Amino acid sequence: MLYNHVMSKERIEELRRLLKEASYQYYVLDNPSMLDSEYDMLFRELEVLEEQHPEYDDPSSPTKRVGYEVVSAFEKVTHEKPMLSLGDVFDYEELRQWSKKITDQYPDIEYSAEYKIDGLAMSLIYQDGYLQRAVTRGDGIVGEDVTSNVKTIRSIPLSIPYKQRYEIRGEVYMPKSAFIKVNKERIARGEEEFANPRNAAAGSIRQLDSRIAASRGLDGFWYHVPDDVNASDHLSSLSYAKQLGFKVNPNNRLCHSIDEVIDFIEDTAAKRNELPYEIDGIVIKVNSYSLQKALGFTSRIPKWAIAYKFRAEEARTVVKDIFITVGRTGKCTPNAHFEPVKVAGSTISYAILHNEDFIKEKDVRIGDTIIVHKAGDIIPEVVRVLKENRTGKEIPYVFPDTCPDCGGKIYRLQGEAAHYCVNSDCPAKVITGISHFASRDAMNIDGLGEKKVEAFYKAGILTSFEDIYKLHNRHDEILSLEKFGEKSYQNLIDAIENSKKNSLEKLLFGLGIRQVGEKAAKILAKRFKTMDNLINASVKDLSDIKDIGEITAIGIVDFFKSESNRNMIDILKLFGVNMEYIDTASNRITPFMDKTVVLTGALTIYTRDEATAILENLGAHVSTSVSKKTDYVIYGEKAGSKLKKANELGIATLTEEEFRNML
């Protein structure tokens, strides 16, 4: 649709309002009001309109969040009011003593008790309704301006309905799910894992390229407004902050005694491991601002607040062995195998020891008694060695100079802590590489998981990506393997045949090019369209692309320089593996092209996600609400108000069976 200037301005404003509301519902209230595909479509439309009309620029537009700024260093900023730390207590007796000092002066005290988020302390400063600055705590007096990175956090409002200066402080954190995802991506690129979500959040916020911060899934909770003129107590201040659009943790409790505070701590400790983010304690504050002012501060901490710190759940066990695992990049990672022990709700018996330097620093030996915990309540970690328990029979670990899987030499690369096996034929590298190639997010060959790949490798029938497409010739050998029958064989062959039709980005991700994850693979496929175009791209061609850095560009060029890699691509071509990008929504004439479709009722032929994916592949826009702009409503059993509204508006309706027949 073509817009004139007035219409464009109105549409830009409408899109910004819709996208801001959707982000608020999703990221702050955890109540999605719009499908991801619908959000993406509106977002792309806004990007195009803003590019066409720079005169309507708005620093609070949702498009400002995507991460575009690269800085050479972070500017130092002096806090207007110091960001003081809190005093800590570790048991209930210390907590009661702190409370008694207050109640001796002021008997009738109400406390606010809230989760202590384990993240990175941050101050947000708004002026004239817009986010002006985001500053780290630093040393409490001077922090760093990280505004460009904080703007990528979708739960943080870029503008608020409050025109005076407004400062709010809180914690930027990485949810546990994002932490696991980021570490998987780092492992896939051959990089060191983050030790815990707090370190991951801090490292992400201090990235000089805001695109990296944008990709890390950060979030934040906001819990303190210095000198708040809009409230008389702490909880009222948080309530007002929530009205302004800030994400405030709902797990706050007003307590009328220290015993109620302790009850809250007990309740929290019981469900701590189930939370989607990491907490390391409970913060207790005197609720009244007038009493906070009367109590005042020591030289470094407020007298009216304290942090009750959870002790990390630890367990004692004994190291049975230290062994090396080899990943698909050849990275050799040492691991401790210890006597099984229960920590934070699950039994663990292994922990990563990271690298040779870590083992030397901790002085971990086979036979040692060790203390373990879960870093971030997720990853098993060796905390320390109980050297006083040594008997003299413990065996110091000597890092091997040969690969445990292939016997080839392993090397520690200059400037890196990790060792690598450089043998391209190393069984561990081959097995994990093929498993990655066949994985769901890559070529999606169902029935070719790591255990099957290992069995095929040991049987000598699968040693490369190309061998996958020869498995139809190994019928008898495959059926001779344990737990493999005619049906599972045929299902595997069908899945392999289907994988040939994948779009180029699936193949690129599956090849395991260093630094090329799913997102980068999709960007490359869209940009270059064919494998041949990508093979002939220069470092400059690649690094000029947004989201493809120079290191990634060099890695891609080096990969395709390899004669063996080029030969492998040629063989895959001969087997009929698709080498082109498939834009599923373009160049197709379908009844649903550019139509707005609403799904309602209980679908029985397809799941809601399957139906949505089918429609989007046919060029449709799937919406959640019926309006005059809706073209079709597809309905299942027990359809209600949406179907009724469609009939009232004269919108075309299809039963699920009719929809399938159209397909």
CA dist., res. 331 & res. 235, Å (int)? 50
Q: Is 446 left (phi over 0), alpha (psi -120 to 50) or beta?
A: beta
Residue 242 phi, psi (nearest 5):
-65, -40
| DSSP H or E segment with residue 600 | strand 596-600
Contact yes or no for 117/173 (Cβ under 8 A): yes
Task: Calculate ∠ Cα 610-611-613, nearest 5°.
Answer: 65
Contact yes or no for 182/376 (Cβ under 8 A): no
Task: Calculate ∠ Cα 188-189-191, nearest 5°.
Answer: 105
Other residues' Cβ atoms within 10 Å of the Cβ of residue 401: 10
Local structure of residue 342 (DSSP, 8 states): E
The amino acid at 165: R
Contact yes or no for 237/225 (Cβ under 8 A): yes
Q: Has 9 been annotated as catalytic? A: no
Question: 282: closest CA among 311, 257, 302, 303?
Answer: 311
Contact yes or no for 304/109 (Cβ under 8 A): no
Other residues' Cβ atoms within 10 Å of the Cβ of residue 294: 13
* 3-state SS assignment for residue 439: coil
CA dist., res. 322 & res. 65, Å (int)? 45
Residue 6 phi, psi (nearest 5):
-65, -45
Other residues' Cβ atoms within 10 Å of the Cβ of residue 192: 15
Question: 162: closest CA among 207, 188, 124, 105?
Answer: 124
Residues linked to residue 130 through DSSP beta bridges, in sequence order: 127, 159
* 3-state SS assignment for residue 276: coil
Tokens 């999605």 locate to 32
Of these residues, 64, 116, 374, 642, which one is catalytic? 116
CA dist., res. 469 & res. 497, Å (int)? 8
CA dist., res. 169 & res. 568, Å (int)? 54
Residues linked to residue 121 through DSSP beta bridges, in sequence order: 171
Contact yes or no for 41/621 (Cβ under 8 A): yes
Task: Calculate ∠ Cα 216-43-662, nearest 5°.
Answer: 110
CA dist., res. 51 & res. 119, Å (int)? 36
Q: Concatenated DSSP letters for 521-549?
A: HHHHHHHH-BHHHHHT--HHHHHTSTT--
Q: Which residues are catalytic?
A: 116
